[in-house]
Amino acid sequence: MRFRSCVLSATMLFAVTPGFAADQTVPGAGNANAAALAHRSPIVRSAFHFLLDQASRIKDAKLRKETLDAIGNPHTCVTHRAKLTDAKKDAIVQTLITQGLLNPTDAAGIQGGAKAGVFPPVLNENTACPQLPQPFFSAPGSAFPFGHHSYPGGLPVHESNNDVADVNLANEYRAVYGHTGRAGFPTIDEDDLGTQTRRDHDVDIFIDEDIILGAPIWHDWAKSIVFQWNADGSEFTELNFGGSGVNDNFGAPGDSRTGGHHIIGAAEAMSRGLSPAFVITQTCAHSAPTSGNEYKVVNWLRAAAILAQIDPVAQGYLYVDAHGNLRLPPLRRLDNNVNLNAGGQTNVLAEYTLHNLSDADFTYSGPALDSVLLLVQAIAPQFGFHSSDANYNNEFRNPVLSFLTGERLLIIYSEKGISGVTAEVQKLRDAGVI
């Protein structure tokens, strides 16, 4: 352990090459290079095909069709951007600001300002069918350099982990809360624990498997638009919005700002006419609407509806309560006599919390990438690279992470030390990847 500590201390001297302030009003100059790298990676390719397979299991025909189109069709239309003129974009940005859903100061570091943050460039801009600026499978999972899965193809890897987690969490709920014993009362079915729950005949509670399968795919879909690649292998800067950061809690102090990908993805789902239960679940990824956090989900839905140019109340995504506040609607309720303003919440579906929990892999993935970047920098000279090199990101950092992932490398390091990490990277040298 002493040797490993010395390695980490020494690598603190290295610095990740920062991305330059790219013009974010035009598609990323490094998108094609990132797509080529992601296409070569076995784990990225397998993750992408896994997501396509998961989407094909969705029973609802519309949700299945739209999900497969969104991630699998290389010419998919970004529907919420169809025929969107610059004047209309300006008006939408101003509406977000006026309604307290965007703080202009948060766009100070983005070339192109708030408009470029809310409307990152797409191909065939202003036409009836704008298209993704890069393939879904080449997008990263988060911000460069230290964000989780911040390498070409990190998005499908991240989403695969989350989709597995959501399915397993739903099965846990079914096994613990959804089995009735011989006396007619709920019992824990030990036969189901640790295995795939027999949903068709052994469970008497409803958790929508279509939503469980689809929500993790849709939640991060817009990262293919938001996190485009610069020529040096770094990424675009993401704009946080969905609140002003001041009095976002129905006029009381609160901060509901979140990553733009979250809101843009919900806007696209709304534009394609996906159901309230699905879109609200999708939008719960960054916060469950419980413990006083309902206002966050409400504000994200409000912002998404403005981008999608729809009325969220008319479409069933929100409703107006007795106090004039927009709230989450009470879906699937048969008894309409419950007073929603009497306290507590009767507008929460299990799917909301399950999806929120499934998005929590960043708690390991983020620190894993942070640590592994130091390890990779430490061994880079053995392979002819240094973190200050102009080609470091494109020819060493990104290929190592796209093929090996930060999570795998940190787990290997925890067991085998720096020599284990070096051996993994050597496989890439032997295969001609680096």
pLDDT for residue 12: 42
Token pair of 199 as six digits: 């949903």
Name the one residue in this structure whose structure tokens are 């509406």. Answer: 95
pLDDT for residue 339: 52
Query: What CA–CA distance (Å, rounded) separates 326 from 317?
Result: 10
pLDDT for residue 8: 43
pLDDT for residue 3: 34
- Cα-based distances in Å from 293 to 101, 250, 275, 358: 16, 11, 22, 18
229 by DSSP, 3-state: which?
Answer: strand
Give CA 429 to chain center in angstroms: 31
Q: Which residues of 116-151 are buried (b: 16+ CB within 10 A; e: fewer)?
A: bbbbbbbeebeeeebbbbbbbbbbbbbbbbebbbbb
Beta-bridge partners for 259: 240
pLDDT for residue 172: 92
pLDDT for residue 190: 65
Query: What CA–CA distance (Å, rounded) separates 34 from 431?
Result: 19
Query: What CA–CA distance (Å, rounded) separates 20 from 181?
Result: 62
Q: What is the pLDDT along the chain (434 residues), one digit of tens a residue?
A: 333 333 344 334 344 444 456 899 999 999 999 999 999 999 999 999 999 999 999 999 999 999 999 999 999 999 999 999 999 999 999 999 999 999 999 999 899 999 999 999 999 999 999 999 999 999 999 999 999 999 999 999 999 999 999 999 999 999 999 988 888 888 887 665 555 544 445 788 999 999 999 999 999 999 999 999 999 999 999 999 999 999 999 999 999 999 999 999 999 999 999 999 999 999 999 999 999 999 999 999 999 999 999 999 999 999 999 889 999 999 876 555 555 554 567 789 999 999 999 999 899 999 999 999 999 999 999 999 999 999 999 999 999 999 999 999 999 999 999 999 999 999 999 999 99
The whole-model pTM stands at 0.90
Query: What CA–CA distance (Å, rounded) separates 83 from 89?
Result: 11
Closest to 153 measured CA to CA, from 16, 33, 41, 32? 41
pLDDT for residue 203: 85
Query: Phi and psi of 279, rounded to 5°?
Result: -65, -40
pLDDT for residue 181: 83
Query: What CA–CA distance (Å, rounded) separates 219 from 279?
Result: 9
pLDDT for residue 188: 86
